[in-house]
Structure 1
Amino acid sequence: MSAVGRRPLDAAEAPPDWPAAQDRLADEAVRLALERSGEAGVRLREAGIAHPEPRGVAGLRDVAVLAKDDLPELQAAQPPFGGMLGVDLGVLRRIHRSPGPINDPEGQRADYWRMAPAFRAAGFERDDIVLNTFSYHMTPGGHMMDAGLRAVGCVVVPGGVGNTAAQAAFASQLGATGYVGTPQFLLTLLERGREDGIRATFRRALVSGAPLPLDLRRLLEEGHGVSVFQAYGTADAGAIGYECDAKDGWHVAPGVVVEVLDPGTREPCEPGEPGEVVVTSANPVYPLVRFGTGDLSTFRSDACNCGRTSPRLAGFLGRTGEGVKVRGMFVHPRQLAEALRGAPGVRRYQGAVTEEDHRDVLTVSVEATPSRPPDLDELAARLRDATRLRVEVRAVEPDTIPEDAPPIVDLRERS
């Protein structure tokens, strides 16, 4: 579907007064947080908010932002959810673990992470057969997308990660018309299918978890005939934004309040001015108030002609926190530190993320101690266990890595 705005919108996607809807949502999130979240309740009371009353989004201005990078320490001090869970453990459907490590609850509600609007906007329909290549093991990505697809009425093929040849063949045999996963793995599947003489059947894809440079989008759409849409969300907050037919920015998803704040001053940024995406969610299971995702974006100032009244984010502009996303998975410096702690022969190390042929590559450079060289294969195994990613390890000359060098750097070009 090439024309913009032909898909019907529900009231949540296009309320007549979006700011008023956001104010009501913020007030409900505050009420739930005061009643159910010890962590958020502390920050609200410190800001002078001790009782639920109409304040709207502007009333959150003095509430301190909780950084996503602070969750591992909070959860370690008060397991398993750092005092943020709004229900008893026994009523959860699943408990997931994201890299960090961060524990993520999943409540009983259908489409718990509210992904269905993103799939509808991308044109996924009832009875579509869709290959979901996000992981179903421990991390929540596979289940996040699975629930949204089922809410739309799609038939889900739970492919998970890896097994490229088998997934390409199975999807073709089933006539799968949809794909869900990172854009880089979609390219890998399509190219492997061509090599193996497999007919590609994907017509559309919803991609997330990794950047989508313009040249990669063109390659997928013009070179392979797949219409590609982006979705943006986290395991903590669920869906945050998604593309419509215009493919010109991410509409703020129904069910969350989104602010873009200056990382230093915590003041709201003007449209066009980059800042951190900060989310407030009225989720009874896991109420969030001013949750800092660590992602950088900016609001668009122009309206979209698709009919949605929600504001739009301009896309992913980088990270404020220490975590770096690699092949759809966050890698934190603490993971590298834990993996290499006590490893024989390691004096210093530094991770670097690069991109080769639209594929993320994580390389860890290691300086050896004077007494012995490190076992690079052992280090690679340690890092793979810690990050659940394939990691290339290489030895470098002494004093190559400065003493104050950051533990991980992102050297990918963004476009």
Structure 2
Amino acid sequence: MSPETQQPALQQLLLHVSNYSNYYKRIFHEHNINVDAIKTAADLAQLPFTTKDDLAQYNDDFLCVPKSRITDFVTTSGTLSDPVAFYLTDSDVERLATNEAASFQCADGSENDIYQLMTTIDRRFMAGLAYWMGARKMGAGMIRVGPGAPFLQWESIQRFSPTVIIAIPSFIPRLIDYAIANEIDFAASSIKSIICIGEPIRNPDFTYNELGKRITSQWDVKLYSTYASTEMGAAFTECGEGKGGHLNPDLLILEVVDDEGNAVKDGELGEVVVTTLGVEGMPLLRYKTGDLCNVYYEPCTCGRTSPRLGPVVGRKQQMIKFKGTTIFPPALFDVLDAVKEIDLYQVVVSKNEFRNDEITVVLPMQLQTSAFKETMHSLFKSRLRVSPALTFVTADELTFRIYKQEKRKPEKLIYI
């Protein structure tokens, strides 16, 4: 869909929210906005941004249909604040399936593939449902194993011969370690590729980051990055070229903006802003995700012409000012993922008595030696110019802290 062909979908969206969204009706009135004057994606600049705080404060005001029409009730992950409710109609659930089928096909998937899902499909998690719906729509099979449980993962791989794994990439080294410890010939398994969710596996120049290197140095599989969120109800997925996640222009209008709200140029870093097309329940206009990515408007070598997003460099809300240096959590993760002895870690960000940011890395007790601490200090200083504090707990305690029963994702980062 080109910007011209997005126009009818955009006008339908504007009509929908102006009639049914209490939040946007109020915004249009307060800002004297004539929605009839907004004809194209470029005209969206006439509208104010919608922020995460708006969504949290006025959550149900965004709902455009009676709750009796809601098919699926989900929430955001609540990484930095309380989870926000999202409501999906039957049409919205079908939109998820359409998105994920297209995403799987972008990642070289087909009806001949069998996907093994290593994330939850419950706990109000939109993505797990989307993956299952997308595979079903594409005509592919899916094994719903869920997170963790390396024994069950390998037993399922050996029993059903899936071709593609869907997982948080930091789980894959644990899966490999389990295979090695239990003499499982993972190199000869049926797995050909891994769709990596929730964490970046590439640097901004599209080379593998330390986590991506760690996986591919041990296992001859192809990795595909994805970037998605509950709010957008859609995904940016890499093709086989591995040069950024492709926009699905049927489902989203993309803007990438600087701190002043102006569009950045090709290749530049900015905040991802989305307008959701085809959503009935809780459509969003110019929603600021808080995620910082490089954007690429030139056609991809795969032949697709839609804009692409590079890996998430960081979230604006997660920016840490530590000893005069600005750091985003992925930079810390990249250092830790480079050390083969580290298979578990948690980064804790807190404030000291002067309200300045402090960083502590929690590691397994067996690594607590003077030589290891000195190595880590030198590595952090060379890569980031600063070195966080290190603290050590038992592996069981650290596993409990990271893989909490009530959480949908591993808690590699916490703020206290």
Q: TM-score, normalised by structure 2?
A: 0.72
- Residue 314 of structure 2 corresponds to 318
Which blocks of at least 5 consecutive residues in structure 1 are unaligned? 1-14, 76-81, 325-351, 370-375, 394-406, 410-415
- Residue 69 of structure 2 corresponds to 91
Residue of 116, 127, 145 corresponding to 1:141: 127
- Residue 153 of structure 2 corresponds to 167
Q: Structure 1's 237 and 368: CA in aligned 2 closer, same or farther, altered over 3 A?
A: closer
- 1:132-211 correspondence runs (5 A): 132-136=117-121, 137-199=123-185, 200-211=189-200
Residue of 10, 32, 36 corresponding to 1:48: 32
- Mapped to 2, the partners of 1:204 and 1:239 lie a distance apart of 21
Residue of 288, 294, 308 corresponding to 2:290: 294
Give the letter aligned to residue 62 of structure 1: Q
- Residue 219 of structure 2 corresponds to 224
- Mapped to 1, the partners of 2:283 and 2:412 lie a distance apart of 39
Matched-pair contact (CA < 8 Å) for 1:241–1:313: yes
- Mapped to 2, the partners of 1:390 and 1:231 lie a distance apart of 17
Shift of residue 222, structure 1, vs aligned partner: 5.1
- 1:23-62 correspondence runs (5 A): 23-52=7-36, 55-62=39-46
Shift of residue 44, structure 1, vs aligned partner: 3.3
- Mapped to 1, the partners of 2:151 and 2:116 lie a distance apart of 13
- Mapped to 1, the partners of 2:227 and 2:345 lie a distance apart of 22
Higher relative contact order (CA 8 A, sep 6+): 1
Shift of residue 126, structure 1, vs aligned partner: 1.2
Give the letter aligned to residue 262 of structure 2: E
- 1:325-344 correspondence runs (5 A): none
Q: Structure 1's 68 and 383: CA in aligned 2 closer, same or farther, altered over 3 A?
A: farther
Q: Structure 1's 301 and 280: CA in aligned 2 closer, same or farther, altered over 3 A?
A: closer
Shift of residue 64, structure 1, vs aligned partner: 1.4
Give the letter aligned to residue 41 of structure 1: K
Whether 2:95 is the aligned partner of 1:112: answer yes
Give the letter aligned to residue 256 of structure 1: L
Q: Structure 1's 208 and 27: CA in aligned 2 closer, same or farther, altered over 3 A?
A: same
- Mapped to 2, the partners of 1:21 and 1:41 lie a distance apart of 25
Shift of residue 187, structure 1, vs aligned partner: 3.0
Aligned length: 338
Residue of 211, 223, 233 corresponding to 2:228: 233
Shift of residue 35, structure 1, vs aligned partner: 2.0
Q: Structure 1's 34 and 392: CA in aligned 2 closer, same or farther, altered over 3 A?
A: closer
Shift of residue 168, structure 1, vs aligned partner: 2.0
**Runs of 4+ in structure 1 over 6 Å off:** 365-369, 380-383, 389-393
Q: Percent identity?
A: 22
Matched-pair contact (CA < 8 Å) for 1:182–1:209: yes
Q: TM-score, normalised by structure 1?
A: 0.72
- Residue 357 of structure 1 corresponds to 337
- 1:258-277 correspondence runs (5 A): 258-262=254-258, 264-277=259-272
- Mapped to 2, the partners of 1:256 and 1:28 lie a distance apart of 13
Give the letter aligned to residue 112 of structure 1: R
Deviations 1:158-215 (A, max 9, x none): 1221212221221222111111121112332233223222343211121111111314
Shift of residue 275, structure 1, vs aligned partner: 1.3
**SS at 1:66 equivalent:** coil
- Residue 242 of structure 2 corresponds to 247
Q: Structure 1's 178 and 97: CA in aligned 2 closer, same or farther, altered over 3 A?
A: same
**SS at 2:315 equivalent:** coil
**SS at 2:285 equivalent:** strand
Which blocks of at least 5 consecutive residues in structure 2 are unaligned? 203-207, 321-330, 354-392
**SS at 2:246 equivalent:** strand
Q: Structure 1's 382 and 242: CA in aligned 2 closer, same or farther, altered over 3 A?
A: closer
Shift of residue 153, structure 1, vs aligned partner: 1.4
Which segment is superposed worse, 47-56 or 82-91? Answer: 47-56
Give the letter aligned to residue 124 of structure 2: M
